[in-house]
Amino acid sequence: MHSGDPFLPPATLEDKRKPCLVLDLDETLVHSSFKPVPNPDFVIPVEIDGTVTDVYVLKRPWVDYFMEEVAKQYEVVVFTASLAKYADPLLDLLDKNKTVKHRLFRESCYLYQGNYVKDLTSLGRPMCSTVIIDNSPHSYAFQPQNALPVSSFIDDPRDNDLLDMLPYLEELAGVDDVAATLVENCGFVPRRSFHSRGLPVPHERHHR
């Protein structure tokens, strides 16, 4: 468990009463590849060993709408095991509406049994109101009770996982203990689809 000062500054007055939502980046919000892909959303030049290499990025369907919606009820943190020299410029492009309040990168992870683990106690936020969404269970190995699992995104244009999670996140935003609720409901797996609820669906499917 983390010891010392938290990685995040104190929550602002606006965010103090909101729960904290921790989002992974790669394979959760986007998929990145060193190989060219058809119609990438972004191309990020990254210097590796003195050579600039392009990274091709696909946004997960619904990611823009998802980010706009969760920011209404949560203090949003992106916590990635990627290096800042790649993730920071990517987030500058992805988070065009400035919904992400804080960014944490690989140096804030703990290397544990060969995996980069995101210790939620390092954030300085109450565990009873902190949720992590990550495609890799290794990433939240220290606090699995706080996880809302998500599948890995590669390139499926029909992927609706981010949209399907929104009703569950709305429910979690109103409970006293998110960890207890997630455990009681097995991380809300399996999940109902957004469409099956009869809720209005945004017109632009991808919101890109």
**Is residue 107 included in any domain, yes or no?**
yes
What residue numbers bound the domain in which 120 lies?
A: 20-30+60-197
For residues 76-82, average pLDDT: 98
Q: Answer yes or no: is pLDDT of 3 > 90.
A: no
**pLDDT classification of 204: cutoffs 50, 70, 90:** low
155 is catalytic: no
Number of structural domains in the chain:
1
C-alpha span between 172 and 182 (Å, rounded): 8
Pairing of strands 51-59, 42-48: antiparallel
**Is residue 1 included in any domain, yes or no?**
no
C-alpha span between 49 and 128 (Å, rounded): 42
The rounded percent of the chain whose pLDDT value lies above 90 is 91
Q: Answer yes or no: is pLDDT of 208 > 60.
A: no
For residues 135-163, average pLDDT: 97
26 is catalytic: yes
Instruction: Work out the number of other CB atoms within 10 angstroms of the CB of residue 145.
Output: 15
- Three-state DSSP class for residue 165: helix
**Is residue 45 included in any domain, yes or no?**
no
Query: What pLDDT does 26 receive?
Result: 98
Q: Answer yes or no: is pLDDT of 203 > 70.
A: no
What is the chain's mean pLDDT, rounded?
95
**Is residue 117 included in any domain, yes or no?**
yes
Query: What pLDDT does 96 receive?
Result: 94
**Is residue 15 included in any domain, yes or no?**
no
**Is residue 70 included in any domain, yes or no?**
yes
Spot the catalytic one: 24, 119, 134, 164: 24
Query: What pLDDT does 202 receive?
Result: 81
For the entire predicted model, the pTM comes to 0.95
**Is residue 9 included in any domain, yes or no?**
no
Task: Say which CATH number the domain at 82 has.
Answer: 3.40.50.1000
**Is residue 206 included in any domain, yes or no?**
no
Report whether the peptide linkage leading into residue 190 is cis, meaning its omega lies within 30 degrees of zero.
Answer: yes
Q: Answer yes or no: is pLDDT of 151 > 50.
A: yes
Contact of 16 with 126, CB cutoff 8 Å: no
For residues 124-145, average pLDDT: 98
Query: What pLDDT does 95 receive?
Result: 98
Spot the catalytic one: 5, 15, 26, 49: 26
Contact of 125 with 97, CB cutoff 8 Å: no
